[in-house]
Structure 1
């Protein structure tokens, strides 16, 4: 069964099962689109009038992407296989194809009315295969090579729907992420599916947009990891995606992999509409436009919801200052930055300025030292002549030290894994989706952000 899952670098770990579309024998066009509740929740008809992701390439580092999938034809670039086993446009397991469909599916048939549609249907997908089968490992030295390749091929967003399952990212992985960030690429990664109060790496690394999962009511999915370093939440429960292993071609499943793909697609939409923004400024728009929706009592960053729930339409339409080039999440230091550094913030060549300052201050220091030495010699002569007694004290500067501040831990989760919040009684902004009763409002209705900022 083709489920969409979060992977482990020590082995592929299946955490959720797919719910095949068994209630519809032929999976008609209307039926498939009706399962895509996210399209209504995100108000995508209005969003696509602004941009559909034209001109942006999203790299999917995964199990490959099936280039023959009807909803993805023409969208999948050649890519590269890093497993030594064939083509990146072959996907024998289906996870990468599922992620690509959430991002860039365009439907098929007359008027593209059949099949599913992704959040950014005009984005190009760069498939980078780093594992082939469910139980394959996805080691850091392999996916890091794929990340570097994505940067060199001009990808503006990199989707990493996998995690280290509690492990730490190797130096190769960290350097690859730093390379992407230094070259103006938005990197998005899954927070993890174990329900732990800890964001998995590489998602937890500085500058990466780490993503957790929420359901149709905008409540955190019980399996979604939480804790320090969580950036955004996005739909990850009963999400429809292409499934090459299903006879119907699609399946529904839960997981932060899916949520990650939605955020990657939203980042691509922002990059398409605002091509002058840096990667950090794109991330800034995603964060500043996010909202806690019904969870108004929360303040950002919250351990379970990060900076809030993704809102692609607001990320494109809100009046948000660009902010610093590196964005609110910062960056990992690149090799160049770590070697040269910047001695003075805000200067183009801090080391030069520091050298100039050092040179300009040497002369008076030398004069002072020379003066002190002269006084000492003269004083010694006087004392010798007068044979006076004096007390000498050996003193010196003490060595400074200090204890770094301790980190703040998080309390354990409740027995249910997440807290239920009261639902909003009104639908503020989104039209009621077809077949949805007014008694069941759209919990993703566009509301002002509640980030405590």
Structure 2
């Protein structure tokens, strides 16, 4: 298998606890305080397939389930051993409580199921595939995979089989589109039918220069200036950017919507996300998919028709001949992107093909192809020009 571009996150200047909320610009943009009066994600378990989750942090205390460590065996809640903090930061973006001036997630009431699939390097796709099945078998309605790469033909088949299993069990999988700043086709698991691929937008609603794009992209969500715990030092805060965080915000958004409508299936949650996504121009677009995720449209405005509970709207839109039919999972649930369109929450992302100038209806997108920043197309999981990344070897 070829190299995996995994963390898809870049560290930025450190943030302090005192200004944490101002750093989390996307919470105000998506009307988070109003959303939390309606739903918090309570009752929904989100699995984080990553480097593990540090459950000792104040923002995650009492929210992290035992989980599983497929990298070395044992529990997935690895605490101090999550040196890179990547999995921890995804959990914070999804469900952090913000206590003691820390990071607050988009779904602060959701529970986190940590599934460690690697540390500084993957052991091939095996741990990730095992992690997906483990997550759905242990109550996760939402699965966050803020990593990805390419796979050979046999691995691609295995990925499809695993995703089909998760879909049939009623789970939603969100995956990062990648940070290579270029058009891509086969990014696993993001491009697997049944997986929801998420790209990144910045504070002005523009597609980030680093965000990979292509026909596989389904949504965009905030991925710029995302606060989290610094690598190798859990007592300090850093700013990050990357589609890793975009996928986490999308995962948290799904949990938020689902907690308000617990009887909906994955397909219904996904359908209302598609119908209420912000865009200006034809969709789906290879740059923004169906647009910027906007939970306020669902939870505050009552928009979006959940529709048929048994039809995957993305697969149906893609003309899939055999879209997997999902049923609500009977697994127990444990409770322990955002608007990105300005304070009104009514703005729209604009397709890159029409992005030469801004208009009154939304924000322009950057011409990514003309200014691509290839920051994550390297192998390894260390620090190179501030980039944290992982690599995969054949299993």
Same-fold call, TM > 0.5?
yes
Mapped to 2, the partners of 1:281 and 1:60 lie a distance apart of: 22
Contact 2:273–2:304 (8 Å) recurs in 1: no
Q: Which residue of 1 aligns with 2:48?
A: 60
Greater relative contact order (Cα < 8 A, sep 6+): 2
Which digits, 9 at most, give the CA deviation of each residue in 1:399-446, with x for residues without a partner?
xxxxxxxxxxxxxxx9xx99554154999xxxxxxxxxxxxxxxxxxx
More strand by share: 2
The reply to whether residue 141 of structure 1 matches residue 126 of structure 2 is yes
Q: Which residue of 1 aligns with 2:114?
A: 127
| Residue 42 to residue 322, structure 1, CA distance change in 2 (3 Å) | same
Give unpaired runs (5+ residues) of structure 2. 317-321, 326-351, 364-395
Q: Which has the larger radius of gyration?
A: 1
Q: Which residue of 1 aligns with 2:249?
A: 262
TM-score by length of 1: 0.67
Find 1:69's aligned residue among 45, 49, 57: 57
Q: Which residue of 2 aligns with 1:401?
A: none
Q: Which residue of 2 aligns with 1:362?
A: none
SS in 2 for 1:288: helix
SS in 2 for 1:170: helix
| Residue 426 to residue 64, structure 1, CA distance change in 2 (3 Å) | closer
CA drift of 1:230 comes to 1.2
| Residue 107 to residue 66, structure 1, CA distance change in 2 (3 Å) | same
Mapped to 2, the partners of 1:323 and 1:180 lie a distance apart of: 20
Give the count of matched residue pairs: 326
Find 1:221's aligned residue among 202, 208, 214: 208
Contact 1:9–1:139 (8 Å) recurs in 2: no
Contact 1:165–1:192 (8 Å) recurs in 2: no
Mapped to 2, the partners of 1:175 and 1:237 lie a distance apart of: 33
Contact 1:9–1:138 (8 Å) recurs in 2: no
CA drift of 1:86 comes to 4.9
Contact 1:241–1:251 (8 Å) recurs in 2: yes
Mapped to 1, the partners of 2:34 and 2:176 lie a distance apart of: 27
Mapped to 1, the partners of 2:178 and 2:362 lie a distance apart of: 32
| Residue 253 to residue 138, structure 1, CA distance change in 2 (3 Å) | farther
Find 2:296's aligned residue among 313, 316, 333: 313
Contact 1:20–1:246 (8 Å) recurs in 2: no
Find 2:160's aligned residue among 155, 164, 174: 174
| Residue 94 to residue 9, structure 1, CA distance change in 2 (3 Å) | farther
| Residue 311 to residue 190, structure 1, CA distance change in 2 (3 Å) | same
SS in 1 for 2:269: helix
SS in 2 for 1:46: helix
SS in 1 for 2:114: strand
CA drift of 1:197 comes to 1.3
Contact 1:193–1:223 (8 Å) recurs in 2: yes
Which digits, 9 at most, give the CA deviation of each residue in 1:223-280, with x for residues without a partner?
1111112110000111112335246532111111100000000100111111111101
Which digits, 9 at most, give the CA deviation of each residue in 1:202-229, with x for residues without a partner?
1111121110000011000011111112
The reply to whether residue 97 of structure 1 matches residue 97 of structure 2 is no
| Residue 207 to residue 44, structure 1, CA distance change in 2 (3 Å) | same
| Residue 188 to residue 67, structure 1, CA distance change in 2 (3 Å) | same
Q: Which residue of 2 aligns with 1:372?
A: none
The reply to whether residue 33 of structure 1 matches residue 26 of structure 2 is no
- The Cα RMSD (Å) is 2.8
CA drift of 1:16 comes to 4.8
TM-score by length of 2: 0.76
Alignment of 1:398-437 (within 5 A): 419=355, 421-422=357-358, 424=360
Give unpaired runs (5+ residues) of structure 1. 1-7, 332-336, 343-413, 428-453
SS in 2 for 1:232: strand
SS in 2 for 1:249: strand
Q: Which residue of 2 aligns with 1:326?
A: 311
Contact 1:190–1:211 (8 Å) recurs in 2: yes
| Residue 247 to residue 76, structure 1, CA distance change in 2 (3 Å) | closer
